[in-house]
């Protein structure tokens, strides 16, 4: 038993660590780690990952909420979209063939790699659209000198539509879909990147939680796997967030992209060759 | 209640809520694994092997959890830990819902109610499916 536990916790620890320092979350690494290295069925890996994503989101978002980086109202508005997608996705995960899940997973990893490469600076707007103003979604962030900079939010409906897709992918594949969420907020809704990342992190808990509840209630979560994975990913994410300020993440970006592309290729190959 | 006060309450209490439930869940999970290792290591390995062959054990009824814990089933502590963990988002949204009711911010009462309903529907969909 100790051997199995050590192996699972070690895999989860490394996945959580890489997920934290890459900013992509543990789910996108733990699912392929369990499938490729531990030879686990895809659906078991997805169930275990969803639970661990809830844990890492809760742990990682504490500091961002406390320090004011998370836009709580944006999170609450967009969670309506992600929860809808996640419940549908988690339901479909029970009926969609594994080959489709693996191909979708490969596609999501490529999207994360694309996002990592094309991540850009802030494009702040000073006039929000009427819906955003009605929902009071604007906020403030400090500039380099610590002075507050006001930002407004635009394009709530298209941003919300992409959030439904993010939720769907989360429920189907057991990931937080952080890269998709940040893209929706940053590119479409013009929310500053750091606020988008912090808000995405916060929302991931609810998105993954919705999927996890479907899996758990359906009896599709293997406690023997999910428990050590949740502990390992949480510990890895905690360690990652501690060393993150001391790392030159920019120089590691290319490493993350290579890992994502390689894993996407492996998952795609597994799907197409029927392993 | 002014908006700034509402924001302050959310920023102070949300992290406390998240951290408390997360720590409780982690303690339960670690305790469950220690108990499994101490009292039922073979049972754990059997379940692991079954899962590796695609055989999930099936639904764990909420009502049976307390009974099994009273019986001293170490594996149930693990299940309880996972349930507590999934309560993190539910508790956080419920907290916001109550706060918005108190503030009479009905737009956000509606939005958080929708998210809460989504989480509960998720559980029902899972139970039915």
What does the pLDDT read at residue A219?
Answer: 79
Could you tell me the residue range of the domain that residue B49 belongs to? Answer: 3-128
What does the pLDDT read at residue A250?
Answer: 67
Residue with tokens 């994503």: A53
The reply to whether residue B18 touches residue A230, judged by beta carbons under 8 angstroms, is: no
What does the pLDDT read at residue B8?
Answer: 79
pLDDT band at B65 (very low <50, low <70, confident <90, very high): low
- Cβ under 8 Å to A: B residues 70-99: 75, 78-79, 81-83, 85-86, 88-90, 92-93, 96
Q: Tell which of A174, A213, A225 to mutate to test the B interface (max B CBs under 10 Å).
A: A213
Mean pLDDT across A163-176: 86
What does the pLDDT read at residue A161?
Answer: 93
The answer to whether residue A121 scores a pLDDT higher than 70 is: no
What does the pLDDT read at residue A81?
Answer: 95
pLDDT band at A208 (very low <50, low <70, confident <90, very high): confident
Mean pLDDT across A139-168: 88
CB-closest option in A84, A216, A227 to B86: A216
B1 touches chain A (CB under 8 A): no
Mean pLDDT across B71-83: 82
Helix (H) or strand (E) holding B51: helix B41-52
As a whole number, the mean pLDDT across chain B is: 82
The answer to whether residue A186 scores a pLDDT higher than 70 is: yes
Q: Which residues on chain A are in Cβ contact (under 8 Å) with B7?
A: 72
CA distances from A239 to A13, A17, A128, A235, B16 (A): 9, 6, 38, 6, 20
The answer to whether residue B104 scores a pLDDT higher than 80 is: yes
Mean pLDDT across A200-206: 87
ipTM for the whole predicted complex goes beyond 0.95: no
Cα–Cα distance, B128 to A122 (Å, whole number): 45
CA distances from B39 to A243, A264, B79 (A): 37, 41, 16
What does the pLDDT read at residue B28?
Answer: 92
The number of distinct structural domains making up chain B is: 1
Do residues A90 and B123 make contact, with C-beta atoms less than 8 angstroms apart? no
């Amino acid at each position: 038993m100790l051997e199995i536990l050590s192996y699972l916790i070690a895999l989860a620890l490394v996945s959580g660590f890489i997920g934290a320092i890459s900013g992509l979350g543990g789910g996108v690494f733990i699912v392929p780690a369990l499938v490729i290295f531990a030879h686990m069925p895809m659906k078991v890996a997805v169930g275990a990952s969803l639970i661990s994503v809830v844990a890492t989101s809760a742990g990682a978002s504490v500091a961002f909420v406390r320090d004011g980086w998370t836009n709580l109202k944006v999170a609450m508005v967009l969670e309506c979209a992600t929860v809808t997608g996640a419940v549908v996705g988690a339901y479909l995960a029970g009926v969609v063939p594994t080959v489709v899940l693996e191909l979708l997973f490969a596609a999501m990893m490529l999207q994360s790699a694309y996002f990592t490469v094309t991540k850009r600076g802030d494009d702040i707007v000073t006039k929000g659209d009427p819906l955003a103003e009605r929902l009071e979604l604007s906020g403030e962030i400090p500039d380099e000198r610590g002075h507050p900079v006001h930002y407004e939010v635009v394009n709530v409906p298209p941003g919300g539509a992409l959030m439904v897709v993010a939720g769907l992918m989360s429920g189907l594949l057991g990931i937080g879909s952080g890269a998709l969420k940040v893209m929706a907020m940053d590119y479409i809704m013009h929310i500053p990147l750091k606020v988008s990342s912090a808000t995405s992190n916060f929302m991931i808990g609810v998105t993954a939680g919705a999927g996890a509840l479907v899996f758990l209630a359906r009896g599709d979560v293997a406690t023997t796997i999910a428990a050590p994975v949740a502990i390992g990913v949480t510990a890895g994410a905690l360690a990652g967030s501690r060393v993150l300020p001391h790392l030159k993440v920019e120089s590691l970006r290319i490493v993350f992209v290579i890992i994502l592309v390689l894993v996407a290729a492996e998952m795609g190959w597994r799907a197409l060759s029927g392993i | 209640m002014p908006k700034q006060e509402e924001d302050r309450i959310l920023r102070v209490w949300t992290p406390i809520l998240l951290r408390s439930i997360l720590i409780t869940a982690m303690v339960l999970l670690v305790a469950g694994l220690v108990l499994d290792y101490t009292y039922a290591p073979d049972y754990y390995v059997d379940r692991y092997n079954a899962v590796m062959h695609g055989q999930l054990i099936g639904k764990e009824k909420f009502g049976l959890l307390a009974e099994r814990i009273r019986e001293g089933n170490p594996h149930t502590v693990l299940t309880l830990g996972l349930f507590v963990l999934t309560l993190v988002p539910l508790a956080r949204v419920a907290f916001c819902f109550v706060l918005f009711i108190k503030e009479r911010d009905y737009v956000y009462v509606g939005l958080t109610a929708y998210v809460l309903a989504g989480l509960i529907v998720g559980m029902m969909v899972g139970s039915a499916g």
